[in-house]
Amino acid sequence: MSSIIQHITPPKYKDPGCTTISCIIGNTIIERALLDLGASLGLGELKPTSFTIQLADRSVKILRGIVEDMSVQIDKFYFLYDFITLDTHPVSDSTVQIPIILGLPFLVTSNALINYKNGVLNLSFGNMTLEFNVLSINIDQPPKLDLKQLPCDLKYSFLGENGTFPVIISTKLDAHQEGKLLKILKMHKNALR
């Protein structure tokens, strides 16, 4: 409040993107579970419900049911969590597909502390704590790319090592032009993610 009175504007930070962690629900491994401060979605045996939910795009979905007291494993911790389930359209780009959202009730249950500035999520259970860097991209295990056939005047080039961070460039560029373009793209690689 004192910064408002003193007319000091706090620094503006860029959007940190979505926060994801991996977890195990039952026998299913979820590589990228979205941490969301709103709704929670999932799959399993359903208890009937008559609720509806309005999504961010203002579409209204009828819930298929509720799964109560599902065991969610995050690293070595186990939490009981209720999942609300609904039908969604499949995502064509599997690299951005997030099949589950762990919402505010889960974050409260797991006593989550999120430091968005540093990209750190702390989950605690009793006197034990886990720390996750939730805003970083796992470069050690990049997703397997399904590169499509390109027209003859285009080709793939890669900004990262081992065929990671693909970009599409013109085949009409000479070696010097291609080198300059890739150098600029590599300098701004974070903006392309």
Residues in CB range of 40: below 8 A, 6 or more apart = 81, 82, 83, 84, 101, 102, 103, 104, 105, 106
Pairwise CA distance, residues 160 & 189, whole Å: 9
pTM above 0.75, yes or no: no
Helix (H) or strand (E) holding 149: none
Pairwise CA distance, residues 17 & 114, whole Å: 14
CB-CB contact of 85 with 41 (8 Å): yes
pLDDT for position 172: 93
pLDDT for position 129: 77
Q: What is the pLDDT along the chain (193 residues), one digit of tens a residue?
A: 455 556 555 555 555 555 666 767 667 777 767 665 444 444 445 677 776 767 666 777 766 677 677 666 666 667 676 666 666 555 555 554 555 556 666 666 666 777 767 777 777 766 777 777 766 555 455 556 667 788 899 998 888 877 777 888 899 999 999 999 999 888 887 776 6
pLDDT for position 173: 92
Which residue's entry shows tokens 């009981």?
80
pLDDT for position 123: 73
Could you give all domains of the chain from N- to C-terminal order, each with its CATH number?
12-133 (2.40.70.10), 154-192 (no CATH)
